[in-house]
Amino acid sequence: MISARTRLAVVIGDPVRHSLSPALHNAAYREMGIDWVYVALEVPAGSAGAALAGLAALGIAGCSVTMPHKTAAAEACAVLTPAAAALRSVNTVTVVDGHLEGDSTDGPGFLAALAEAGVVPSGLRVLLCGAGGAARAVADALGRAGADVVVTARRTDAAAETAALAGGSTVPWTDRDSAVSECAVVVNATPIGMGGDGATVVAPGALLPGQIVADLVYHPLDTALLRAARERGAQSVDGLGMLVHQAALQIRRWTGSEAPIAAMRTAARAELTESGRA
Ligand code: NAP
């Protein structure tokens, strides 16, 4: 029951109504038995600074940040974690002693999903497809974890910027299929395959037994790329793990307690199924 004692956490974004974060966080709070509630606030572009400035006064425990506010949030925070500073992007704001601290949990969330699949990226060569916000977060995290990151994207300048975050290299977008054979891990950080259209970011025939193939796309959860990977004897890692773990890291930061991963995963699956996105 929501009462005068209930603590509030929020997500700001626009659009935000499709966000899975309320389902993930509220399931976690229920499972943890804490009197917290998490709501989505639609904040238009240009208003993130004003919204974040109100967090401390309102006593809001934490704020997730999604498009289009991640850069504005980085500018609004007094303190940034090394990842958030490198990316100039914040998805997690915590009020600490009245000031705002910004973090970026997408990259560490991706590493946690890999770890859950038994993958330790240190020393592995990773072909990272895409150079948008998610790819940048993954590149930064993989670089910090000691992976050899090779970025491929259709915009060469964006690919080079993303690779630089990891101290890595690039291959031309047109050469990505031949680059697959030189990599232990392939990551799709583009929307290719979203909506279950059957498209794959690399040719299915380029994938090899023993490789790890991770897709950030989570609707559908089992993309054509992941099916192709398993058919060829590779291990598939779906986008749900990253989604759950980036939220779990927020919860740990705000509450000081470990988040219940299994309950969050169940809630995310249910929400995806209910909204026809599984
Ligand atoms: P973004 O910032 O828009 O970046 C998308 C990237 O994919 C860009 O490099 C873009 O290239 C490229 N791209 C888009 N369509 C393409 C196409 N048809 N062919 C080749 N390249 C294409 O998006 P994002 O936030 O990084 O998200 C990327 C994907 O990751 C989305 O599907 C998103 O849902 C998913 N995601 C998942 C999680 C998770 O927790 N599992 C978290 C974040 C994002 P251009 O710059 O040339 O357009």
Dist. CA 244 → ligand 1 center (Å): 18
User: Is 194's C-beta closer than 6 angstroms to any atom of ligand 1?
Assistant: yes
Nearest CA to 203 out of 147, 143, 152 is that of: 152
How far apart (Å, rounded) are the C-alpha atoms in residues 251 and 18? Answer: 20
Q: Determine, yes or no, domain membership for 176.
A: yes
User: Is 68's C-beta closer than 6 angstroms to any atom of ligand 1?
Assistant: no
User: Is 130's C-beta closer than 6 angstroms to any atom of ligand 1?
Assistant: yes
- Residue-wise pLDDT for 160-175, tens only, equals 999 999 999 999 999 9
Which pTM was predicted? 0.96
Task: Return mean pLDDT, the chain.
Answer: 97
Dist. CA 133 → ligand 1 center (Å): 7
Nearest CA to 168 out of 188, 187, 142 is that of: 142
- Confidence (pLDDT) at 147: 98
Q: Where are the beta strands (DSSP E) in the chain?
A: 7-13, 36-42, 62-65, 79-80, 92-96, 99-103, 125-129, 148-152, 169-170, 185-188, 212-215, 235-237
| Catalytic residue positions, numbered | 70
Q: Determine, yes or no, domain membership for 2.
A: no
Dist. CA 126 → ligand 1 center (Å): 17
- Confidence (pLDDT) at 278: 65
Dist. CA 170 → ligand 1 center (Å): 17
- Residue-wise pLDDT for 39-96, tens only, equals 999 999 999 999 999 999 999 999 999 999 999 999 999 999 999 999 999 999 999 9
CATH number of the domain to which 18 belongs: 3.40.50.10860
Q: Are residues 222 and 263 in the same domain?
A: no
Number of domains in the chain: 2
Q: Are residues 176 and 120 in the same domain?
A: yes
Q: Are residues 21 and 51 in the same domain?
A: yes
Q: Are residues 82 and 130 in the same domain?
A: no
- Residue-wise pLDDT for 203-214, tens only, equals 999 999 999 999
Which residues span the domain enclosing 234? 107-238
- Residue-wise pLDDT for 210-236, tens only, equals 999 999 999 899 999 999 999 999 999
- Residue-wise pLDDT for 176-190, tens only, equals 999 999 999 999 999
Ligand 1, pocket-test mutation among 216, 219, 223, 243, most atoms within 8 A of CB: 216
Q: Is the pLDDT of residue 277 over 80?
A: no
3-state secondary structure of 150: strand
- Confidence (pLDDT) at 190: 98
User: Is 155's C-beta closer than 6 angstroms to any atom of ligand 1?
Assistant: yes
Q: Are residues 148 and 181 in the same domain?
A: yes
User: Is 224's C-beta closer than 6 angstroms to any atom of ligand 1?
Assistant: no
